[in-house]
Amino acid sequence: KAGVTQTPRYLIKTRGQQVTLSCSPISGHRSVSWYQQTPGQGLQFLFEYFSETQRNKGNFPGRFSGRQFSNSRSEMNVSTLELGDSALYLCASSLAGTSGRGYEQYFGPGTRLTVT
């Protein structure tokens, strides 16, 4: 079974631009979560999507948004990029449904975003 895939793997953007990152979950996984990893803040939860609905959001400004499609693929968007948005953005998928059973999340290789 193919793992979680993320595209692109690397991005360089300029301050003020916007960026869209894509994530394809493992087949059969309907929950997709996004995390930001930086040396200073570590791994921080951005948001989780299930059945095309955002059901949990981390403490990030509104410039960070996302969506999920009917095939469970997800995208996240960052508008008006700031230098501090430079990070590794990780997508994870799981079998989680509505039961709250703490399913393990499987992570993709990440997209490394550099803002200059």
Residue of 55, 80, 84, 114 interacting with other proteins (CB under 8 A): 55
Q: Is 21 in the site for other proteins (CB under 8 A)?
A: no
Q: Which stretch binds other proteins (CB under 8 A): 12-20, 63-71, 76-84, 104-112?
A: 104-112
Does the protein bind other proteins through residue 74 (CB under 8 A)?
A: no
How far from 74 is each of 29, 90, 91, CA to CA, in Å? Answer: 12, 12, 9
CB of 55 to other proteins, least distance (A): 6
| E-strand stretches of 1-116 | 5-7, 10-13, 19-24, 31-38, 42-50, 53-57, 64-68, 74-78, 87-94, 106-107, 111-115
Q: Is residue 110 part of the contact set for other proteins (CB under 8 A)?
A: yes
Smaller CB separation from other proteins, 20 or 58: 58
Which residue type does 83 have? L
If one counts every other C-beta atom within 10 angstroms of the C-beta of residue 107, the result is 14
From 88, 115, 90, select the one nearest 105 (Cα to Cα). Answer: 90
Report the nearest approach of other proteins to the CB of residue 33 (Å): 7
For the CB of residue 16, give the shortest distance to other proteins in the complex, in Å: 27
Give the one residue of 24, 68, 72, 105 binding other proteins; rule: CB under 8 A: 105
